[in-house]
Amino acid sequence: MNSSISKAQLLYLRRQRARRAAVLAARILLLAGFLSLWEYCAGRGIIDSFIFSSPSKIALCFAGMARDGSIFRHMWVTLLETVTSFLLVTAVSMLAAVILWLCPRLSEVLDPYMVVLNSLPKSALAPLLIVWLGARTRTIIVAGMSVAVFGSILTLYTAFCGVDPEKLKLIRTLRGTRIQALTKAVIPSSIPALVSTMKVNIGLCLVGVVIGEFLAAREGLGYLIIYASQTFKLDWLIMSILLLCIMALLLYAVIGLAERICLRRR
């Protein structure tokens, strides 16, 4: 197989690998430099280590909570709530977009309401959800869904409406039904939009879950942030924020991996 690749192609592939390696090295050096500067400034008193903490203090805090397993319990609760709300958002938004596409008149009626609900600050809904549903896990899951579901429906419905009209005309010419047009042309053509929406939704669901945990939780990283801020345990607070960043990065990476697997199978 290597014999079929020209020297120019090999050179291009080497340059691409070298570029990716350089970008990765730059990212690692940037992170290491930031952490080193942070630790140095905290150790020298340039910044207040009580307010800004330091990498070493955060690491010790994480190690202490890892020994008794409490930090893993909080992480698991937030992760489970985020994944549950994400899966529900994906299912609900896909179903709603399909119904709106199949019923154009219904979509015309509901369009302004969907726009308003999507524009509404979702943090304003959280106290109302607590009154309606109580301070329970399902309230947090619904709060996570509320941040992403309306925008997801609008995005998917717009993608459905943007399918090549020639494909739909061909299906109608062959006496195909609207359901067949949906399954044979609309949904397959909208898979890239669905994947892009899922990438956005996983982060939005995490934001919504944390908002819900601020108000209605006794476990989770959002609860830990509120508790740490009220008791001035800023090591816990910054550690929780960093763990949320890592969790968001890993969840996004999982969606990206699923996307690559799907593209290979097509």
**The two three-digit tokens of residue 20, written as one number:** 């990716």
- The answer as to whether 190 is a domain residue is yes
Q: What is the DSSP letter of 54?
A: -
Q: Considering just the CA atoms, what is the radius of gyration of the chain in Å?
A: 24
Task: Report the pLDDT averaged over residues 96-101.
Answer: 92
100 and 174 inside one domain: yes
119 and 242 inside one domain: yes
Domain that holds residue 39: 2-47
Number of domains in the chain: 2
Task: Report the pLDDT averaged over residues 70-81.
Answer: 93
38 and 150 inside one domain: no
pLDDT band at 84 (very low <50, low <70, confident <90, very high): very high
42 and 79 inside one domain: no
**What is the pTM assigned to this prediction?**
0.85
pLDDT at 3 over 60: no
Q: Are 213 and 144 in contact (CB under 8 A)?
A: no
Task: Report the pLDDT averaged over residues 98-104.
Answer: 90
13 and 131 inside one domain: no
- The answer as to whether 54 is a domain residue is no
pLDDT at 158 over 50: yes
d(CA 236, CA 229): 9
143 and 81 inside one domain: yes
Least confident segment among 26-40, 77-91, 122-136, 147-161: 122-136
Number of H helices, E strands in the chain: 13, 0
d(CA 202, CA 251): 7
pLDDT at 265 over 80: no
**The two three-digit tokens of residue 1, written as one number:** 């197989």
Mean pLDDT, all residues of the chain: 87
- The answer as to whether 261 is a domain residue is yes
186 and 75 inside one domain: yes
- The answer as to whether 22 is a domain residue is yes
Q: What CATH number is attached to the domain comprising 258?
A: 1.10.3720.10
d(CA 86, CA 8): 45
254 and 207 inside one domain: yes
d(CA 74, CA 70): 6
150 and 107 inside one domain: yes
Q: Are 156 and 194 in contact (CB under 8 A)?
A: yes
Cα separations in angstroms, 142 against 39, 75, 147, 217, 230: 39, 19, 9, 13, 25
Phi first, then psi, for residue 62 (nearest 5°) are: -65, -40
Which of 53-62, 117-126, 178-187 is the most confident on average? 53-62
65 and 36 inside one domain: no
7 and 118 inside one domain: no
pLDDT band at 1 (very low <50, low <70, confident <90, very high): very low
- The answer as to whether 56 is a domain residue is no
- The answer as to whether 103 is a domain residue is yes
66 and 136 inside one domain: yes
